[in-house]
Amino acid sequence: MCDTCGCSGDAVVHHEGHTHTVPLEQDLLAKNDHLAGHNRARLREQDVFALNLMSSPGAGKTTLLERTIRDLGGELPFAVVEGDQETLLDADRIKQTGAPVVQVNTGAGCHLDAAMLDRALVALAPPSGAVLVVENVGNLVCPALFDLGEAARAVILSVTEGPGKPLKYPHMFASADLVLLNKVDLLSYVDFDVAEFRHDLSHVRPDALVLEISATRGDGLGPWYDWLRRRPGRG
């Protein structure tokens, strides 16, 4: 069980050569999934494409969003939900782009959930045809477990985060419809092997779509924008 928010999942305990699987509280997730279903139906009805954007803190979620809205906002109507434990800092950054934004502070919680998105949608009221980007709280663990009712999930990993992340955080990468490898402008300065990353990712998500990008320098943003234009939804 996650100490911060109490989110559940089956824990696997390794001790002296024995492996025990410990089933943890599932009610929380079942209730969340139910609400997420309502969100998904409502968003579909309103023709709003919702993208759950997840990463570690600092991987570049807000930077990518700012640039995407500036480059593509004339063509696609963006609306944004910002998730952080505290502060309005990211919402203030998005506000500068002119896109409508709502900040959700989770306090001690380490992820957004479907009820929070439901409340944010009431405040935001995205117009029909909008692209709704939900920037989740920065970490590679809890957000993966909580369906918000989104149509698609994108995970950003930056090359400064080091090797092995898809293997260490398989739930996050396995649930991603798109993986964005960010900060490729720094590849010559850091010890990060792109081929190894793709190989690790293939173990948890063999058919993953990976785009190599730099949110600051602009590398690879064309394919990312084309992906958004396609609004690749689930189901």
Asked if 59 interacts with ligand GDP (CB under 6 A), we say yes
Whole-number minimum distance, CB 149 to ligand GDP, in Å? 22
**Which residue's CB is nearer to ligand GDP, number 9 or number 135?**
135
| Residue that has been written with the tokens 């590849």 in this structure | 187
Do residues 101 and 81 make contact, with C-beta atoms less than 8 angstroms apart?
Answer: yes
182 touches which of Mg ion, ligand GDP, none (CB within 5 to 8 A by kind)?
ligand GDP
Q: Which residues contact 17 (CB under 8 A, 6 or more apart)?
A: none
When the beta carbons of 30 and 88 are compared against ligand GDP, the nearer one is 88
Q: Binding ligand GDP by CB under 6 A: which of 63, 97, 105, 175?
A: 63
Name which of ligand GDP, Mg ion, none residue 215 binds, using a CB cut-off of 5 to 8 Å depending on partner kind.
ligand GDP
Is 139 near ligand GDP (CB under 6 A)?
Answer: no
**Residue of 175, 185, 187, 232 interacting with ligand GDP (CB under 6 A):** 185
The residue among 64, 44, 176, 228 whose CA lies nearest residue 121 is: 44
Name the residue among 135, 124, 132 with its Cα closest to residue 87: 135
CA distance 162 to 7: 26
| φ, ψ for residue 90, nearest 5 deg | -70, -40
Q: Does 172 help bind ligand GDP (rule: CB under 6 A)?
A: no
Which position among 52, 68, 139, 214 is part of the footprint of ligand GDP (CB under 6 A)? Answer: 214
Which residue, 40 or 165, is less far from Mg ion as judged by CB?
165
Instruction: Provide the 10 A C-beta neighbour count for residue 165.
Output: 19
Cα 138 from chain centroid (whole Å): 9
Amino acid at residue number 134: V
Picked from Mg ion, ligand GDP, none, the partner binding residue 208 (CB below 5 to 8 A depending on kind) is none
Residues at the contact surface with ligand GDP, assessed by CB under 6 A: 55, 57-63, 138, 182-183, 185-186, 214-216
